[in-house]
């Protein structure tokens, strides 16, 4: 069962005030910030952003079925060989890793072991850190009279044979009401559904027919160029959706890490620091609805904190 943050009810007057304060008084991300934070269509090559610039375009792999490619596992760091076109394993070995990517104060959060300790988790297959996208094209939205003024978006990704692929997209309005929630069928076979983080299981995806393009179009029907999209590290969500959008507010930028860029606080940490609330505690994994609702609440909190609402 998924756990959601309770949506905050607003009157129509508060709704309008919220939007006006949001639109006119809170600084949206500049062109330079969009570039620095690696938003699709605004990306520049920076050392700390290479993990998002590493993209596999599925359309470019046609005719390369006989080529073998050397890859490095994102989780354990071991090298392995795959079919370049399909990502199918040529060599296999057990992946032993820590769920926590960085040790905190010399210890991993996942198991409490020291940073040089052997991994506490294991899996049958290795995973690639690259995004597996359909093509090099990015979609953007033209005028849409029925579009939402503000929409918070979050996605979930899984590990497939080629890399990260979209498996869920959710969007909520300024009330926290769900406007969109779709499961998405990956283009290539799943290596690991990433359940601990995504909340998605193989069983949930068994009968799903919606593909990434249909999920993208479903979101585009809800927005226009003037829609303010809200999210946490929203660049990764828009990358997975292959959408270019400049009118954005990113809570990872609104509530910066004390060490400054490129370091970013997790959404969980921001919620604890700003609202004293704990999210992402469900044993079944994260919920993209819960995360989107948390982002809306954080922006409203920011407005109130700055005396704008």
Domains of the chain: 12-50+134-305 (3.30.420.10), 55-129 (no CATH)
Least confident of 67-81, 103-117, 186-200, 214-228: 103-117
Distance CA 286, CA 309 (A): 30
Q: What are the φ and ψ backbone dihedral angles of 138, each rounded to 5 degrees?
A: -115, 140
* DSSP-derived secondary structure for 225-258: TT-EEEESSHHHHHHHHTB---SEEEHHHHS--T
Asked if residue 160 lies in contact with residue 129, where contact means CB atoms within 8 angstroms, the answer is no
Three-state SS at 72: strand
The pLDDT, as a whole number, for residue 267 is 93
Confidence tier at 73 by pLDDT (50, 70, 90): very high
For residue 211 the two structure tokens come to 């593909």
Structure tokens that stand for 205 in this block: 């995806």
Mean pLDDT of the residues in the chain: 85
Among the residue ranges 61-75, 81-95, 176-190, 238-252, the one predicted with the least confidence is 61-75
- At residue 151, the pLDDT reads 94
Choice among 7-21, 103-117, 281-295 with the minimum mean pLDDT: 7-21
Tell me what the mean pLDDT of segment 172-177 comes to.
92
Element (H, E) at 272: helix 267-275
pTM across the whole model: 0.87
Of the segments 46-55, 199-208, 258-267, 284-293, which one has the largest average pLDDT value?
A: 199-208
pLDDT of residue 54: 75
Asked if the model's pLDDT at residue 13 lies above 60, the reply is: no
Give me the pLDDT at residue 153, please.
Answer: 98
State the average pLDDT over residues 178-203: 93
Task: Kindly calculate the radius of gyration of the chain based on its CA atoms and give it in whole angstroms.
Answer: 20
């Amino acid at each position: 069962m998924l756990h959601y943050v309770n949506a905050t009810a607003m009157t129509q007057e508060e709704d309008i005030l919220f939007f006006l304060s949001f639109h006119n008084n809170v600084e949206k991300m500049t062109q330079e910030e969009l570039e620095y934070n690696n938003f699709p269509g605004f990306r520049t090559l920076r050392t700390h952003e290479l993990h998002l610039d590493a993209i596999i375009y599925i359309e470019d792999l046609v005719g390369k079925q006989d080529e073998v490619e050397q890859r490095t596992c994102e989780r354990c760091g071991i090298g392995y060989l795959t079919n370049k076109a399909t990502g199918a394993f040529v060599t296999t070995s057990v992946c032993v890793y820590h769920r926590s990517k960085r040790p905190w104060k010399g210890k991993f959060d996942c198991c409490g072991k020291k940073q040089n300790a052997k991994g506490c988790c294991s899996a049958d297959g290795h995973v690639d850190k690259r995004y597996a996208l359909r093509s090099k094209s990015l979609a953007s939205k033209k005028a849409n009279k029925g579009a939402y003024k503000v929409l918070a978006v979050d996605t979930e990704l899984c590990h497939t044979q080629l890399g990260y692929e979209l498996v869920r997209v959710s969007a909520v309005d300024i009330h926290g009401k769900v406007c969109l929630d779709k499961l998405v069928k990956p283009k290539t076979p799943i290596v690991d559904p990433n359940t601990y983080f995504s909340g998605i299981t193989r069983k949930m995806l068994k009968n799903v027919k919606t593909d990434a393009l249909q999920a993208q179009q479903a979101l585009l029907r809800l927005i226009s160029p003037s829609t303010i999209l809200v999210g946490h590290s929203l660049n990764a969500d828009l990358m997975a959706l292959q959408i270019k959008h400049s009118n954005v507010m990113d809570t990872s930028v609104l509530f910066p890490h004390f060490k400054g860029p490129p370091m970013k606080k997790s959404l969980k940490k921001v919620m604890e620091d700003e609202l004293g609330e704990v999210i992402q505690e469900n044993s079944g994994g994260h919920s993209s609805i819960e995360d989107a609702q948390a982002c809306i609440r954080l922006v409203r909190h920011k407005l109130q904190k700055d005396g704008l609402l």
